[in-house]
Structure formats: C-alpha cells, structure tokens
Amino acid sequence: MSDSTVFTEKYGPWAVVVGGSEGIGSAFANELARRGINPVLIARTQATLDEAAAEIRSANPGVQVRTVAVDLSVPDGVEQVIAATTGLEVGTLVYNVGSEPKYGDFIDHDWDMLAGRLQRNFVSKARLVHHFAGLMAPRSRGALVLMGSVAGFGGNPGFALYASSKAFSHALGEGLWVELGKRGIDVLTPVVGQTNTPTMVKAYGRVEGAADPSDIAREALDQITNGPMWIEDKVRQLVADRISSDPGERVTTIGERAARLASGNPVAVS
C-alpha cells in the first residue's frame, strides 16, 4: 500500500478547507487533492471559489471538488457549511480563514467589523471543530489543521484582536491534540510568519523572503502526525525570541514591526 493510499484512508475521503479559495487555504486544498483527497472549498466569493476549483480539477482529474460560498463572520454562516457537507465523510478540517488586512487601534475600528472577526476567528472555528471532530471520533481517524501564526506569541498593537485569535488557535489546538489523540484524530497547529498571499500582498505589498503558501501546505501535511504544533523554519528563532523576551519589550518590538508593515515598509524575512 502506497504512502498516498495510507494518507487518503486515514484523512479522507473528503476534506473541508475553510478559506480554500486562495493563498494558504488554496494551497492546502491543492496539496490534499494531490494526495487523493476530495476538497470542499469554503470562502465568501463564488467567483474565486470557481477559479480555485477549476485549477484543482485540472491538476487532479480523478478528484472531486465542491464549493460553498458563505460568510463565516455572520452567525448562520457556519450552519450553512454544516448543511452543505451533510452526508460527506469528512476526514480532514483545515481552518485557515482569518488574515487581517485592516491595521488600527482596537477602539478605532467599527464594532460591527470587530464582531464579525470574533464570529469568524473564534465562534465559527470552535463550532466547526466541534462538529467535524464529533463525526471523526466514531471512526477513530481524521485530522484537524488550525492555522496559527507567529502573531499568536505576543500582543500585537494595531492587530490586537487578530493576534489574540491566533493565540486562541494555539491553545485550542494543543488541548485538542491530547483530547482527540485518544480518539485517533491528529491535530496540528502550523505556526507561520509573513506569507505572500493575495490578501496580504494587496493590503501591504510583497515581502521579500516571505513564505510561499504551497511550501507551507506541503510541509504542514507532512508533519500532520507530529503535533500539536509545527513551526515554520523561517520563524522558529523569532518565536523563541518572543517566548523568552520581557513582555514590555516584546509588545513594543511587535508594535514597531506591525507599524512598518502597515506603512508599506515591512521588515524583510531572513
């Protein structure tokens, strides 16, 4: 039995990829399809979903692809995902949605925007994890991939709610790694840094040396059994420095980096 067949039997036949229309999410969907798993792409815009689905079908003729256009920043969005995937044997959930293109102080943001971020990055995430892990547990197999970030290792002035949502992913993933591991489900939180995704490039420009989404997806799936956390090589030292630094110095340094990013003059990734 090939490694690809083993992977498909353990984590397939279907994967739900939230944020699957572009960037890291699209890269995960493509990599899962390459390994023989049928992806369900979840995102807000049908046009970008159709483009992503066509690309996957072209590269992987034997793979089925479904799309669900839904906004997970509203309360009923997550129930639409659940309804659309009823009857599918989902063996993998990738929760990737949640990049933040809006820089600014927390209290200067409109509350409706922040409420949508809370729904998308906390409530919808927890609800879908609860739903799909609950379906995986009786089969004693499956995987959850909850995208983390170096931003989750410290308060981030200008991106305060976003950073806290990544810290939430880290803590949730670590706890579930133990709980669900006893039920045969693998849990991994990939920790990445600056990545040249379409959303981030449009908002802040291309960052020299930033990660490529396809590399992140491939390496993360290669590490799926080695949870609870996989830290991208490019940010391993940065994470170590943040963990060991004085909190006041840490948040000041993070704030300076965030301000440079928002100004269009980001720190290059070494």
Positions marked catalytic: 162, 166
Structure-block tokens of residue 153: 């290792």
| DSSP-assigned states of every residue in 115-161 | HHHHIIIIIHHHHHHHHHHHHHGGGT--EEEE-EEGGGGS--TTSHH
Q: Which residues contact 127 (CB under 8 A, 6 or more apart)?
A: 78
**What distance in Å separates the CA atoms of residue 129 and residue 86, rounded to the nearest whole number?**
15
Going from the C-alpha of 125 to that of each of 1, 8, 117, 268, the distances in angstroms are 34, 24, 11, 31
- Tell me which residue of 158, 35, 54 sits closest to 105, measured CA to CA: 158
Which candidate, 129, 105, 125, 127, places its Cα nearest to that of 117?
Answer: 125
The residue with tokens 């949605």 is 97
Three-class SS state of 183: coil
What is the spatial distance between Cα 117 and Cα 100, in angstroms, rounded to a whole number? 9
In whole angstroms, what is the distance from residue 259 CA to residue 263 CA? 6
- For the chain, counts of helices (H) and of strands (E): 11, 8
For residue 189 the two structure tokens come to: 């939180």
